Structure 1
């Protein structure tokens, strides 16, 4: 086997491992946390029809950047270094056939493969990806992304003072609770006793940089700063901040729904939204960094806008709930036939960019993302990235709503498309609900 075949087989083996068996844990974030990789392959994240889904460059070939051997290389050099990415059309076809043939037995097969400009680019068979990812989410439900018991114990302790309502300590408490849930979801056992010999990782969370403990790793949680003074807030406590945000949510709700919001029947709704707003306010920044809040006592527009982080998430979730509820009601009324099982859905009908993005860029990498955000061995606890991920997911979802009406007329030829889209948004709803659970956010059915 020559060097070209070794390179080719290595690339094929990477894709086989990641698309045939372990797609749920195969993605890795780049060091900057902006792009996904699948082994050596870079995961394309937009303009899929034009660019493809995955690409891999040739760094080891001098003439790979050109479709023909560059004049700066001698013929002998080119002959020595030439590989599957360089200028030979027959070679390109051979490479494409190799990938296509090898993927025939994979869960997620390759639809197209091309070689040009020093890159191999593949497009996946979307139907296979839709089917496999959505079937996994629907079968696992809220356990999607949950890993088996690792047999590793982590202790999480804080220097919280019972009854202290300091705003920075509220952030510390929320951070610790979310981390505990994520660690348990990732298969760790979490305890509150760092003295236990069973603990493999021992972490103390504090807002005091001077705190140190023997045989325990210390992680300093950033304090809450007043955006005006740029100093740690000491005058406004957690209870006062909650009342402040509750007024903001109430005023915004009155503007949207009218004065009926002030009735007692809306109390649960307002409380749930307020809790969500506070959680996102305090946890949307990296835990080790301070978070700055506008803490003026009067209603201010900038603070109301900041709450849109939480309300945007809740709004998009409520849209999903509403669509699925409307469908169920129309099935009960005999307007629609019941939805077909996911195995019988025709996902080849889903051709919009946003539909592919929802599955390929958000649902499919979620288990990998979760596992990479929290690593106790490395003291990596980037829970804020999960909120950013859900914000981006909802932006894609919002763009999708603006393009399509999921519930169509009950005509026979329109039902297959509607069923496929219902399975898709149901999968997104399950994922969002799972993340809400991690952050102890109670989703609401209307916004």
Structure 2
């Protein structure tokens, strides 16, 4: 896909684009009198991206562009495997960092809000690993997955880092007055203004969240830290970073902060009532499909638990981090409850399709899937196929690359679009379901039908890779059958 720049903003819009391919370039008003120059720029942008426009039309402040679809489909599909490996390689080391779960230093590491912080932290952790960043979590030998398990089962967990390094720095810092073994006065060089409050000093005590946070930061050998916290913790966290800056001569500049909004349940409830609601819905759905077998054995119990967690992850990640996540406690009233299982169902649907195809190949019904370069992609002609290529195959590699850049290079994590992956997976699953219901993929074994079938199988193979990779970024295991 094309990359946005300061002059042109790319967006998909099939309602306003007459006879065009969903692309609108909304231009700066200051450039309205330079339409000829802008049109030439558009042609150059597309050609440099390896795409061939067939028409560019100016209309009321924006351009609509019609692509040569045959050429564009071949471009996006054949380019996808290369970008998939090159941009998503975990082997390239681009730095090191650690994730600091601020709530562990306070008394509110429990409930729905804590679960949402953990889910975003896990997603961020996976993106950093994908970006080549060696990333650890500041909670000892416990992983984020372990913490999610403990949270769901209401198992308390605390983490305290050694305090020796902090005590040494406090005793030698010119801005710190030692009161006793358990308290210190920190004098700020300049008056601080934090959330409307003016501060000249802060009394630091041993039994406080700020003290425990400073211990965690000073015990890490990594200088870049990603702090996951709730908005209510922001005030003290800003104070903590100022003190950390005084003690380390400027290392606070390498701190990234991600505020994760609260979870609002309607009607009011607890994390336990929320998880039980998801469990009840998924168990009922499984019973409708598989009958009494659902009540037998550990397999179904574990499978429903995995589906319930996947459902919660999609619900908690589908809104931007800072927004409040409003969830329905009653599964019959929740519109987003089915999203996670719907995505997993479509992923398993493709796994079943390819399993059946491979069996038919072994039985001699179909020839083996040819190499991509030997497939006639011009046979992908339907609007549904164009939508899958244009909206997903052409978009996903760039989306993850831009997400990686936003979490590793942006000044603040607030600008990172950490909800985009689950939104794309949901949208892709809807469009895939529509396409699958309209199109018969494994047809009769006739020679003249094979080229179209092979082109469609390759398209769905790439769609399957997007689904599996996207699910891995939110630590959800794709199922081979559902």
With the length of structure 1 as denominator, give the TM-score of the two structures: 0.72
Contact 2:8 2:27 in 1 (8 A): no
Aligned mates of 2:28, 2:417 — CA distance in 1: 32
Q: Secondary structure at the match of 1:280?
A: helix
Partner of 2:122: 177
Aligned mates of 1:351, 1:425 — CA distance in 2: 14
Partner of 1:262: 295
Shift of the 143–166 alpha-carbon distance from structure 1 to 2, 3 Å rule, reads farther
Correspondences of 1:259-408 after superposition (within 5 Å): 259-264=292-297, 265-295=299-329, 300-303=331-334, 305-373=335-403, 374-375=406-407, 376-380=410-414, 381-408=416-443
Shift of the 189–257 alpha-carbon distance from structure 1 to 2, 3 Å rule, reads same
Partner of 1:203: 226
Give the CA deviation at 1:336: 0.4
Deviation digits for residues 188-237 of structure 1 (CA, Å, limit 9, x no counterpart): 343446446763x43321223343121245433222222124xxx6xx34
Aligned mates of 1:439, 1:39 — CA distance in 2: 34
Task: Structure 1: give runs of 5+ residues left out of the alignment.
Answer: 1-22, 29-36, 65-80, 87-91
1:223 aligns with 2:262: yes
Contact 1:225 1:291 in 2 (8 A): yes
Contact 1:175 1:283 in 2 (8 A): yes
Shift of the 51–202 alpha-carbon distance from structure 1 to 2, 3 Å rule, reads same
Shift of the 389–418 alpha-carbon distance from structure 1 to 2, 3 Å rule, reads same
Aligned mates of 2:303, 2:353 — CA distance in 1: 20
Task: Provide the aligned C-alpha RMSD in A.
Answer: 3.6
Aligned mates of 1:429, 1:396 — CA distance in 2: 13
Deviation digits for residues 67-106 of structure 1 (CA, Å, limit 9, x no counterpart): xxxxxxxxxxxxxx786389xxxxx9xx79x959x94xx6
Aligned mates of 2:104, 2:63 — CA distance in 1: 57
Give the CA deviation at 1:382: 2.8
Partner of 2:181: none
Shift of the 124–270 alpha-carbon distance from structure 1 to 2, 3 Å rule, reads same
Q: Secondary structure at the match of 1:377?
A: coil
Aligned mates of 1:228, 1:202 — CA distance in 2: 37
Deviation digits for residues 342-401 of structure 1 (CA, Å, limit 9, x no counterpart): 001111111111211111112212233224444352223332222112111112212212
Contact 1:281 1:307 in 2 (8 A): yes
Contact 1:45 1:361 in 2 (8 A): no
Aligned mates of 1:228, 1:82 — CA distance in 2: 56
Contact 1:277 1:307 in 2 (8 A): yes
Task: Structure 2: give runs of 5+ residues left out of the alignment.
Answer: 139-215, 242-251
Shift of the 281–122 alpha-carbon distance from structure 1 to 2, 3 Å rule, reads closer
Shift of the 217–331 alpha-carbon distance from structure 1 to 2, 3 Å rule, reads closer
Aligned mates of 2:397, 2:278 — CA distance in 1: 33
Shift of the 124–184 alpha-carbon distance from structure 1 to 2, 3 Å rule, reads same
Shift of the 285–124 alpha-carbon distance from structure 1 to 2, 3 Å rule, reads same
Partner of 2:19: 50
Partner of 2:166: none
Partner of 1:27: 3
Aligned mates of 1:369, 1:58 — CA distance in 2: 22
Give the CA deviation at 1:430: 0.3
The alignment of Structure 1 onto Structure 2 pairs a total of residues equal to 377
Shift of the 331–224 alpha-carbon distance from structure 1 to 2, 3 Å rule, reads same
Aligned mates of 1:414, 1:436 — CA distance in 2: 33
Contact 1:133 1:363 in 2 (8 A): yes
Contact 2:125 2:135 in 1 (8 A): yes
Of 430-439 and 285-294, more deviation after overlay is shown by 285-294
Give the CA deviation at 1:57: 6.7
Deviation digits for residues 286-331 of structure 1 (CA, Å, limit 9, x no counterpart): 22222233336xxx5114x532111111121122112111111111
Aligned mates of 1:356, 1:412 — CA distance in 2: 24
Give the CA deviation at 1:147: 7.9
Aligned mates of 2:471, 2:341 — CA distance in 1: 13
Aligned mates of 1:408, 1:49 — CA distance in 2: 35
Contact 1:85 1:117 in 2 (8 A): no
Correspondences of 1:77-92 after superposition (within 5 Å): 84=36
Aligned mates of 2:102, 2:43 — CA distance in 1: 55
